[in-house]
Structure 1
Amino acid sequence: MHARRLRVSLKGWGGVGAMAVVCALAVLFVLLLPLAPSHGGGKGGPDTGGPGATWGEQARAAEECTAPEKQTLSPSPADGPTIDEIKSREGEKRKLIVGVDQNSYRWGYRDPNSGGDAELEGFDIDLVHRIAEDILGDPDAVQFKAIPTDQRIPAIQDGRVDMVVRTMTINCARLQDVAFSAPYFRTGQQLLAPKSSPITGYNDTLADKEICTATGSTAFSTLEQDRKDGRLVASADLRTTVPNQLDCLVRLQLGEVDAVVTDGALAASQAAQDPTVQLKGDAFTTEYYGVAMKKDADDLVRRVNQILVEFRQDTEDGWQASYEQWLSATLGDDSAKSEPPAPQYLRKS
């Protein structure tokens, strides 16, 4: 990839040991959090609903939605009002403002072994640089904003970011609040638990077990619905929700919860950070990551979809190269199961 880095002062750490320090810092953050958002916050939390939309309205709209990964606009390289506004920023402000994660190993994280200041990098970060290069002609013309899971949608709606590239699943409920690009990655919900745990997968071994999910995440809404529908054992405890997915790993390490449910791609990275935990069973859903933008940013959605077409086709510096660099170590050399389907563009306006 092109030389591109965001630097912060974070020196002298090494490998997995550094991630352990990050987790330790996250423990302090978790313990200082208000109680309200950390338990039960997933119900109608900030990442699941927008201003003026009631839960009932969203539920009805979601029921009418099918194949959410196809509900996007056709690609176009043309500029429009949203892109013109980004390009009109002057001086140091002439940057693409993107919400990302800085704690998801291999996706968006700070590398403690970068030979100096820690660098923000990973699969999602590669994609951000690609988008910035296409729109502004400079892969480094990016202002990164680290945002927690439960603030992804509010950050877009409030105009704090132009887009979010943060392992964000395309689903019907979120389509009521933001627009998505075509998929750029395939994954599914999966369980993470200690190796010594009697939990074997998404089955009855979860009876009376406390499961941690991120507030506003697909994991929480899936588990809640599955329990209502009888696909998840009724005694599974879903009360523990946290702002950031990494906080779940910390709680698992502290023995405060029995299991974590998150996207399999993220769970594999967390298992790589901590050799005492492992994935339990197969993924029990199929989901797709997309770039999230404002609902009325049609020109930006079309442009990102055009970039994704080219990103997939680029055999030297594109999707496959990023997969091999960042994800093959945790997800395996065969990228076929992670490749998104051929895009379909069913949204007309």
Structure 2
Amino acid sequence: MSGRGARWRPRRALLVLALVALTGCSGPALDGPASPTTPTFAPPLPGGALVLPTEGGGPPSNAAPAPTSCDATPSLRPGAPTTPGSMPPGGPLARIAERGRLIVAVDQSTNLFSFRDPRTGDLAGFDVAIAREIARDIFGDPSKVEFQIRNTVDREPALRSGSVDLIINAMTITCDRAERIDFSTVYFLAAQRILVTEGSGIGGVADLAGKRVCTVPNTTSLANLQRVQPAATVLAVETWADCLVALQQRQVEAATTDDALLAGLAAQDPYLEIVGGSLEAEPYGIGIDRGDDELVRFVNATLERIRSDGTWAALHDRWLSVLGPPPAPPAPVYRD
């Protein structure tokens, strides 16, 4: 023991000297304020976070069209009723039925819509429940769903490659996306707003000029923010849960996305509040591979069923009650 103590003493002395050098403890300068004696460390940014350059300090770009300006929400009419377990041969429904499970792209950090239940570790939420209703109509069994965790960058490539059958991920139907994939009818209607800490002094989009704002890349939220408030500095993160952490660590002054998603973040922190009016309407649709018309019509038939039999309202009441009483489901619009 005495040998270890003898060896430790010089190391301890070196450590003390190192701390003295680090903290500037040699005494204050005679002609200025005292040097800080305790180093400060900022919390690290969420993994994969990136500060984007501002789009410029000028006025909002009114000439730039909104991501939903073309109204790509009309979809195909529901197909003829089918019996679970007996899908028409030769198409995507037969392929899914033969496989024995529906494969759906979701994420695991969008509270209220698709998230890990902390009690069970299972995926839960409004989007997860919608996926199970589609599986119910294919197989007669809502449990026959394989959920793949996909972020906003790789969910479309996964759909086009056939790795997943559907994207059910609080995904807004936009003009750009509708050129690459097909969509169901609208199953939820949100509006982009702003989330801040109480007492922040931010009341709307005009107050975001010169502020650091959190959002997720490859989303309508980022496109709208850069369009209506180019003077904001954007912290782009991988998930909406990362925006919650960034707000709590005071690394940003606001976050912006759909009000339904913001409500899921606010439900986890009583010091957060949603402010301002709508930046843009956000109609959610289920993403389906281009040309899979049979699957589009089948999904629309499920959505028609849950609107009319009360399932949609029950799911809203189960998962989205923080938004208030269930409204009427979004009315479908068909193009054929």
Task: Give the TM-score normalised by the residue count of structure 2.
Answer: 0.77
The residue number in structure 2 matching 1:104 is 110
In 2: Cα distance, 1:244 partner to 1:272 partner: 16
How far apart are the structure 2 equivalents of 1:293 and 1:158? 12
Q: Deviation digits for residues 59-79 of structure 1, max 9, x if unmatched?
A: 99x79x722111x11110463
Answer yes or no: is the 8 Å Cα contact 1:181–1:291 preserved in 2.
yes
Determine if the alignment matches structure 1 residue 196 to structure 2 residue 189. Answer: no
Match of 1:52 in 2: none
Residue among 232, 236, 257 paired with 2:232: 236
Structure 2 stretches of 5 or more lacking a match?
1-42, 56-63, 83-87
Residue 281 (structure 1) shift: 1.6
User: Structure 1: how far apart are the matches of 2:98 and 2:239?
Assistant: 33
Q: Which residue of 2 aligns with 1:343?
A: 332
| Residue of structure 2 equivalent to 1:83 | 93
CA distance in 1, matches of 2:323, 2:298: 29
Corresponding position of 1:250 = 245
Write out aligned runs for 1:216-235 (5 A): 216-226=218-228, 232=229, 234-235=230-231
Q: Tell me, which stretches of 5 or more residues in structure 1 are unaligned?
A: 1-26, 44-58, 227-231
Whole-angstrom distance in 1 between the partners of 2:135 and 2:94: 14
1:166 corresponds in structure 2 to: 169
Residue 180 of structure 2, aligned match among 158, 177, 181: 177
Which amino acid counterpart does residue 319 of structure 1 have in structure 2? W
Given that 2:190 and 2:281 are in contact with CA atoms closer than 8 Å, whether structure 1 keeps it comes out as: yes
Query: Which ranges of 4 or more aligned residues in structure 1 deviate by more than 4 Å?
Result: none
Q: CA contact under 8 A between 1:129 and 1:140: conserved in structure 2?
A: yes
Which one of the candidate residues 215, 235, 238 is aligned to 1:213?
215
Q: What is the aligned length?
A: 277
Tell me the SS of whatever aligns to 1:208.
coil
1:7 is matched with none
Distance in 1 of aligned mates of 2:95 and 2:122: 28
Distance across 1 between alignment mates of 2:289 and 2:181: 5
Q: Partners of 1:40 and 1:175 in 2: how far apart?
A: 26
Counterparts of 1:154 and 1:243, CA distance in 2: 17
Equivalent of 1:276 in 271, 274, 279: 271
Please state how far the C-alpha of 1:32 moved relative to its aligned partner. 4.0
Show the counterpart of 1:266.
261
* 2-structure distance, mates of 1:258, 1:32: 19
1:283 shift after superposition: 2.2
Name the SS of the counterpart of 1:211 in structure 2. strand
Contact 1:185 1:288 survives alignment (8 Å): yes
Distance 2:262 2:309 in 1: 28
The one-letter code of the counterpart of 1:102 is Q
**TM superposition score normalised by structure 1:** 0.74
In structure 1, what residue type is equivalent to 2:298? R
Deviating more after overlay: 104-113 vs 267-276: 104-113
Q: Is the 8 A contact 1:215 1:244 kept in 2?
A: no
Identity of aligned residues (%): 36
How far the C-alpha of 1:137 sits from its partner, in A, is 2.1
| Local SS of the residue matching 1:196 | coil
Instruction: Check conservation: 2:108, 2:114, Cα contact below 8 A.
Output: yes
Aligned to 1:9: none
1:130 matched to 2:133? The reply is yes
Q: Pairwise mapping of residues 282-301 of structure 1 onto structure 2 (< 5 A)?
A: 282-301=277-296
Contact 2:181 2:289 in 1 (8 A): yes
Structure 2 residue 328 is the aligned partner of structure 1 residue 332: no
| Bigger radius of gyration among the two | 2
Deviation of 1:142 after TM superposition, in Å, equals: 0.6
Structure 2 matches for 1:137-152, cutoff 5 A? 137-152=140-155
Structure showing the higher helix proportion among its residues:
1
**In 2, Cα distance between equivalents of 1:155 and 1:135:** 21
Secondary structure in 2 matching 1:74: coil
